[in-house]
Structure 1
Amino acid sequence: MKKLMVSGALALALSTSALVAEESGGFVGVDLGLASLTKMTMIPVGQDVGLSINSLGNLRYRLVGGYKWFFTQNVGLRAYVAVNNGASYGGVGQFNSLFVNANVDFLNTFYNSEQVSAGWFAGVSLGAGIHSGGIVSQYTGTNGQFSNLSNISGFDLGINLGLRTLFGKHHGVEFFTRFGALGASATGENGGVAIADLNTNQIYNAGIRYTYNF
């Protein structure tokens, strides 16, 4: 009788665990965070090169949507599209930056209970950064004049890291960080001659995200 009761309790525990484990499915979300954007401009000055670096902090928001697959109770993957937008303000005026990225994250859950699960994620983010606005929008010097150099777009590569929780199987809260690896670049020209190079990279973006899991 005792063995039967133990077996029944174990079976009930396993079935409950399976019931509350995170499942595969679609999700949407929104996040809010702070970011650091760096713009580096190199301009030839005679035999030397003039270097200007602007580091900009700004408030950013992002919309995400995608699908997650769980292969075991604790291991999964997710793929999603993210649109990240924000603007910086300063003595140079307003500088806008928009990122559109496809993301793939590895998911690992290290804690499960009847109501809450918690874990971490790590992944890669690929897409494009589109920038416009007030820094180095025009330059006049001994090498000529160019304009609108800051209105550039280009390849964007980053690394995703963070912690994630799920409440009641549908509501998720995440603390995320994205580190930029490669950013958009452009060349300013005058009469077909390159006179300046510019690189824009979002060094990091960190904040909090809410997801609704279907």
Structure 2
Amino acid sequence: MRLAVAIFCCALYSDALSAAPAALPDWKQPEVAYSATRIERVMGIEKSQTIYFDQGRERSEEIIQGALYVSIYSPEDKSLYVFFVPGDVKVERACMDFAGLYSSAKSEGRIKSEVIGRETVLGEKVTKHRVESLDGRRWYTSFMWVTDDGIVMRSVNAKGGFEFELSDLKRGLQPSELFELPEGIEVVPDPAFCGHD
């Protein structure tokens, strides 16, 4: 499952530098707990995920080849856990400090943002941001639509090829068990992301 972990982490790293909280002047996670459906389109391929967020913790669920693929991000230990349900007896752990990634990118001048204006997305009042992020030697432009309480409703790559949008947004506390790993499952750190800890 390491390839899945790598792809997922790269996608989240991209989001961390050119999407969601990074679109704001300073790293800022959503101020409210919520659940939503996230529709993502990558190179013309569309997929749907159910996401749950509460106090920095995030759970994402999607169906892959008939199985439920789950990812859980824990801000306490700065780790992303991924596994399939049912079937997996092991869960892979990837160490990812998204707030740290953004802080480093900002201090090094690899990310810049500006406010474009106010709009409405699916009934939500949002602020539109233009975000410039440096990947290697190339600058990439994306646009983010963020609610006043920090929820990213929409993200679009200026050159196309990637976008996502939230629907069925419901604010409110999420059950704590959503962010807990299944009992009896073995956690295996991925050395590609966690070294040898």
Please report the TM-score for the alignment, with normalisation by the length of structure 1: 0.29
**Per residue, is there more strand in 1 or in 2?**
1
Please report the TM-score for the alignment, with normalisation by the length of structure 2: 0.31
**Per residue, is there more helix in 1 or in 2?**
2
